[in-house]
Amino acid sequence: MERELYEFVVKQFGQPACDRIERRNRGGLANEKGADYEDSYAVFSIARYGRDVLRDNNIVEIRSQMLQFVDDLVIYDVSNDERRSFQLKNVAALTWRDIADDFRRQHRIDTEYFLCRKSVTGLVLSSSELCGRLQDSMPEDLVKHEDRPAHSKCIHFPAFSVNRMLMEHSEFREAIASLCVFPDREDCLYVVHSVLMGVWKNNKNQLFNVRDFIFEAHRCANPNYFRLPEVVECELDVRLRQVLDNYANMAYEIRGGHLTIKWRDILTISPPQMIDSPDFAVIVSE
C-alpha cells in the first residue's frame, strides 16, 4: 500500500510533497516532543468512540503517526466509511500558512485514494485563544470544498494533567466515565485512564481496533474498574451474603463485578477486587 500511496502523492502533488510526507513520518516516529499531549488526546478519543463501539458494535480503527500529511492521530470509522485525521499542536503560535497545504492534500488522499465517503481533518490546539484565531482565519477552501460542507476544523483540547482534566474538562471526564463501573469516583476514573494510557503507549504505532483495544485494557487492569456490556454479574458468596443481610441499615449491590457496601448513607466500602477473583475469595475466607 505504501508504494501505491507514494505513486498517488507524486502524481497528484509532485515529488517534493512525497519527500515531505516521508520526512514527517520519520520525524514523527523518532520525536517524543509533544508525545504526552498527543497521547492524552488519543486516549480521550478512544474512550469517546468506545461508548458507541461497545453499544452498537461499530468497527473503528485508530493509530498514530501514519504515512500521511495530517498524521498525529488517524481514526477510521469503518462502519460509517469516515476517516478522521488530526494534527496536534501544544504551541502558542501557528499560522495556516504552515499547515494548510497538508490539510488540503490529506482531504484529497482520503476521498480520492482511500475513496472514503467522508473525510475530516482536525487541528487540535492546547491554546483556546490560538484555536479561536485559527478557526476564524481558516482558508475558505478548507471551510467549504466545492459544494460540500467544511472538512477541516479547529478543536481546543487543554494540555492539563489527568487529574485536572477529570475535574475541569467535562467531555474528557464523561468519555472516561462511560467505560468505568464507578463513574462518580475520581480514583476509579484515574485507574481506567491509566490502563488505557498504558495500552495505548504499547500499541500506538500500529493500527488497532478500538473494541479490541478496550477489551485488552480490561484484561490488563488490576484493579479492574472497566464497565463492559459483556460482563455478567457474578453471584455473591452465600456466606458473605448471609452476613451482610444480617446487618440493619446496610445495603449492598454488585455492579460490573464489584461489590459496594453502604451503611446509612454514611460509609461506603468498595473493595478493588472483583468478586470472582482469587483475591476476593481470600477476603471472604478471612
Within 8 A by CB and 6+ apart from 113, the residues are: 5, 8
**Residue whose grid cell is 478471612:** 286
Q: What does DSSP assign to residue 148?
A: B
Distance CA 221, CA 256 (A): 13
- For the chain, where are the E strands, in sequence order? 60-63, 73-77, 82-89, 118-125, 152-156, 208-209, 250-255, 258-263, 267-269
Per DSSP, the residues of 71-123 read -SEEEEEGGGTEEEEEEEE--S---HHHHHHHHHHHHHIIIIIS--SEEEEEE
Within 8 A by CB and 6+ apart from 35, the residues are: none
Q: Which of 197, 203, 196 is nearest to 179 (CA)?
A: 196
What's the one-letter identity of residue 98?
Answer: D
Distance CA 174, CA 166 (A): 9
Q: Along the 286 residues of the chain, how does pLDDT read in single tens digits?
A: 578 888 899 999 999 888 888 887 776 554 555 689 999 999 999 999 998 888 888 899 999 988 899 989 999 999 999 999 999 999 999 999 989 999 999 999 999 999 999 999 999 999 999 999 999 999 988 876 555 666 899 999 999 999 999 999 999 999 999 999 889 999 999 999 999 999 999 988 888 899 999 989 988 888 888 887 655 455 666 666 666 666 666 676 666 666 676 666 666 666 666 556 666 666 666 5
Half-sphere exposure for 67 (CA within 13 Å, toward CB): 12
Contacts within 8 Å (CB) and 24+ apart, 17-20: 17/105, 20/69
